[in-house]
Chain A
């Protein structure tokens, strides 16, 4: 999304500034150096320009060649220092600003990793992405371009004003008046254009949404010959955006010409008045000449100061958003029970007590809601003995996924408790709890990298042989071998080069390499052909051997093999039992089984 500068202003300016400064504070030396060098560069610039006056005056007063050479040489020294200082601060700033942005990005990402799943479930990806694409970017731009410029122009304005006052205080009153006029104009016009910018943002949003939807649905549009109608809809939104944007810009771009013209008017008035002062012997010709150069020079920093502080303000709005995220509470982990690998296998370490990991999971009277007042699970109790397969069946929104979200503590129960080998899951350290649970999700997400690396994601220290063994367990080995580069085939853009069935096989392999005692499976509903489905089914069967398994089932074969089937509806377990029991009951399950109900 394009970002419009004046549309955003930070709410808590001082706090954000302080935070931003604390980042720069980590590079304390460079920050001080930059500030110092900026001051030196500005002072040299001013002093050099000031030197014009005595040098010229010395000519008029008959100082001769000697005085001229001395004056020029002296000015040259000042200028050299000035250039060196400018070189120094711009280079230091280029490094320091990138370092700050680098740190901010790391903090942002690290913090993001520690946020609870709820955050990701309630925020759109595009929104979160814009922290990186928009907000960090504006900070980087502002630090690169605006930070030094604002200091520089600020000092320059103050310095120029002082110089002007020293040189000729009477004329400086006129200049000050004109500065005030400029400032008022800029403020007024910024406010006017801000209203239009806001409208522009809204119409950009509307166009964006339309384009997003229509481009995604392009194939349907073609099938229905809908191109023309669709273009009309686009034109309408496009024209609206054009009108709003051009109105906003028309205001915004009057700013610079207006400021420039005001400064010229000032220039005129000042030279006229100055002329009269020379006539009345209130000042010298040389002083007036150098004074006028200062007046000319003064307009530029004011102009830049307004522009750059606008940039800086908008970047502070970005910084504020980032700090808000960084300040968000992390996923809490009060667990103390850890998971240890002992000679006999896995064991829970609860203080001094060691409990062997068996895979016994119980829900005791669990109630849960994502939003207060809308319970998704109501007083659910169930009991999975080690090695049992529990299948969840039910329509969308019945609470199947929620059940699995609670076991691995993506979310915490509101009432009741869930125990793992008799230990309340809230007492177990999250990392250990999750490591003991394998998950195969409905949508398999693959990462950029090779097939091997993607399987190894399940256990980072797995050897190539472990990976291959896991792939064989998952029945994925044969298709991987047939790929152009076998296990070293690169996965591109979330596995677009693999079919959904193949991706699922990889997800199974990934879980197999992790070798967890408890498995949570979410069967894919997507269109997978019978043969691949067969492979997946066998792979899953291998994987499930000897483990406690919770499976969100979409296939009859899966439920048939389950030790217990839970039919969920409206957050309650309506029926439970094995396949034969439930068919005999002639209830909901029976209807599902015979295809009289539709799922999803």
Chain B
């Protein structure tokens, strides 16, 4: 419920629409409620005394009320829809803006698919809660209160029946809702488990088929399916108790009223028309309670979605900019000063331990190391994609934490290991680096990155459509386009994280040559191939988060056993 309150703030300007919609429902409900009293009047004072004029008066009033109820109902639809969809759009935007402000460490906590559901289906659930829940939520209490009020004014003694039955029904329905609510979240969990098994099966379908494991998979599925069956049955059989309970309460009310009301009619203290009017109030009150309990069942389901949305909203971006940050980067010199890093406070071991490195502006650094040795982490600290845990890193002599993020990231271009192109044309993608770049500039960057060669072969050139995620180009071509995109930023520091792994050696060499000519740009290469880093001014070797050796190729080949080992293994085998 706290979550719902938090999301309620996101109504923003649409709160007005929501309030108006609620008011309209209120008015509409009032009209509907007056109608039965008028009907009772019409029968008891009009028909009983054959007063035609009175009958027409009351009939006219009733018709007027019905028409007014229609008008308010239709207006309500407009406002409620605006409120619900306005709210939905606001929630989505808030979530999306939140995600934009996340640091890498925040993003790492969520799977892409989970973030997407939180932005789409979960919001739809909230929207539907308004679409389907607002009307009954306003109507039910109003109908209940007014129904009770009218019945008391009509006949206080008879209304006592209400006082006994309604609270009882209320308690029973409340108990049902309360016991079912936690069951729904358990049910959701079982559904997730089942979907998990299906998803795993789909992903690994080749493995399943190759090992002829269909029956094994079927038995696995049957197990989760059975669990789901049991959980769902337990939940639903509890939830559907609503209906007979409600019917019972309603019938008891009707019976009591028939009996006591009948006695009163016999005693002459109640009129027949009043009794029927009264009966319809009973229906109204009890119906409204039923509505309420249904709405609460609906809302308990949306609480789970609200929780998931709020998690996204509550996530605190783990990087902060300091006040009055530095907005210019002097040069591309980078210094690591006793840097240690771990991904979370709780992590037992450091990912990087006590790294010190001095990279002069305009020089080239090559980084080698095994999987998990911390190479990618090391370079991501320069761009402040993560913050150091100990020590400090300076770029151009200034601590990276003192720059504005925008300034720092504009100056440091990074081609990530898992790099992506986006749907759109080649030109759209390249312009991520420089929005104003003209074709000449784009071609120049492509030339340096070795991309011009294949782009020239594409009939549409820069206008080639890449398709979602750049599926229309090969791995090596994609890497080259990503390099071109980074070059367009005209960075002071250029980092390539294993970005030429799918490019053939000849093209790679020409890219290296082109990059070497970039004066004043500090270049950092992470690579598996020793040939990629051999010519660097400085080579750093990482092992298990420690810097184990630094030096030029000649120095390392003479002194570092690890380097020697890698060199040997690669010149004998190598990668095609």
Chains A and B belong together in one complex: yes
Docked complex Cα distance between A460 and B570 (Å) = 38
Contact B251 A48 (CB under 8 A): yes
With A220-B416, A224-B432, A234-B93 as given contacts, are A132 and B372 in contact (CB-CB < 8 Å)? Answer: no
Interface: B349 (CB within 8 A): no
A213 contacts which chain B residues (CB < 8 A)?
422-423, 468-469
Q: Are A207 and B35 in contact (CB under 8 A)?
A: no
The tally of CB-CB contacts under 8 A between chains A and B is 448
For residue B271, give the distance in angstroms from its CB to the closest CB of chain A.
10
Among the listed B65, B100, B371, B474, which residue makes an inter-chain contact with A600, where contact means beta carbons less than 8 Å apart? B474
**Do most interface residues of chain B lie in helix, strand or loop, or is the interface mixed?**
helix
Q: Is B370 an interface residue (CB 8 A)?
A: yes
List B contacts of A534 (CB < 8 A): 569
Q: Are B210 and A600 in contact (CB under 8 A)?
A: no
Chain A residue at minimal CB-CB distance from B89: A242
Chain B window 469-485, contacts with chain A (Cβ cutoff 8 Å), 1 for yes, 0 for no? 10000111000000001
Q: Digit string of A377-391 for contact with B (CB within 8 Å is 1, else 0)?
A: 000000000000000
Bound state CA distance, A446 and B102, in angstroms?
30
Q: Are B207 and A559 in contact (CB under 8 A)?
A: no
Knowing A75-B258, A213-B423 touch, does A249 contact B263 (C-beta < 8 A)?
Answer: no
Q: Is the CB of A596 within 8 A of B208?
A: no
Q: Mark B174-199, 1 if CB is under 8 A from A, else 0.
A: 00000000000000000000111111
Q: Chain A: how many interface residues by the 8 Å CB criterion? A: 170
A207 to B507, CA, bound (A): 38
Question: Interface residue count for B (Cβ, 8 Å)?
Answer: 163
CA A133 to CA B84, docked complex, whole Å: 24
Q: How many Å from the CB of B221 to the closest CB on chain A?
A: 5
What is the 8 Å Cβ interface bit string for chain B, positions 118-135, against chain A (1 contact, 0 not)? Answer: 011100110100010001
Taking each of B97, B202, B369, which has the highest tally of chain A beta carbons within 10 Å of its own beta carbon?
B202
B48 contacts A221, C-beta separation under 8 Å: no
A52 at the interface (CB under 8 A from B): yes
Query: Residue B107 at the A interface, CB < 8 A?
Result: yes
Whether A162 sits at the interface, judged by CB under 8 Å, is: no
Interface membership of B259, Cβ < 8 A:
yes
Q: Is A226 an interface residue (CB 8 A)?
A: yes
Determine the residue in chain A with the shortest Cβ distance to B221. Answer: A109
Are B85 and A246 touching (Cβ within 8 A)?
A: yes
Q: Does A181 contact B (CB under 8 A)?
A: no
A508 to chain B, nearest CB (A): 13
A72 interface residue, CB < 8 Å from B? yes
Whether A358 is near chain B, meaning CB under 8 Å from some CB there, is no
Q: Once bound together, how far apart are the Cα atoms of A241 and B279, in whole Å?
A: 46
Given contacts A68-B259, A264-B35, A531-B370, contact A231 B409 (CB under 8 A): no
Q: Is B248's CB under 8 angstroms from A83's CB?
A: yes
Q: Would you call B81 and A595 a contact (CB within 8 A)?
A: no
* Cβ of A260 under 8 Å from chain B: yes
B161 within 8 A of A: no
Of A283-291, A315-323, A346-354, A419-427, which binds chain B?
A: A283-291
Q: A72-B259, A102-B226 are in contact. Are A530 and B528 (CB under 8 A)?
A: yes
Residues on B with C-beta less than 8 A from A211 are 96, 115-116, 119-120
Interchain CB contact (< 8 A) of A217 among B420, B433, B574: B420
Partner pick for B67 among A254, A265, A292, A296, CB 8 A cutoff: A265
Q: Chain A, 28-59, contact with B by CB distance < 8 Å: what is the 0/1 string?
A: 00000000000001000100110010011001
Q: How far is the CB of B490 from chain A (nearest CB, A)?
A: 13
* Nearest chain A CB to B81 CB, angstrom units: 4
What are the residues of chain B within 8 A of A195 when measuring CB–CB?
Answer: none
A72 x B211 contact (CB < 8 A): no
Is the CB–CB distance between A261 and B66 below 8 Å? yes
Question: Contact flags (1/0) for A230-241 with B, using CB distance below 8 Å?
Answer: 110011001101
A554 to B498, CA, bound (A): 17
A483 interfacial by beta-carbon distance below 8 Å: no
Kindly state the separation between the CA atoms of A252 and B127 in the bound complex, as whole angstroms.
Answer: 14
A-B contact pairs, 22 of them (CB 8 A): A55-B258, A84-B244, A87-B241, A106-B218, A106-B221, A117-B205, A129-B195, A133-B195, A217-B420, A254-B73, A257-B73, A257-B74, A258-B74, A268-B63, A275-B42, A292-B280, A293-B280, A439-B211, A525-B475, A527-B528, A596-B504, A598-B507
7 interchain residue pairs of minimum CB distance: A257-B73, A595-B505, A598-B504, A445-B204, A261-B70, A2-B124, A529-B370
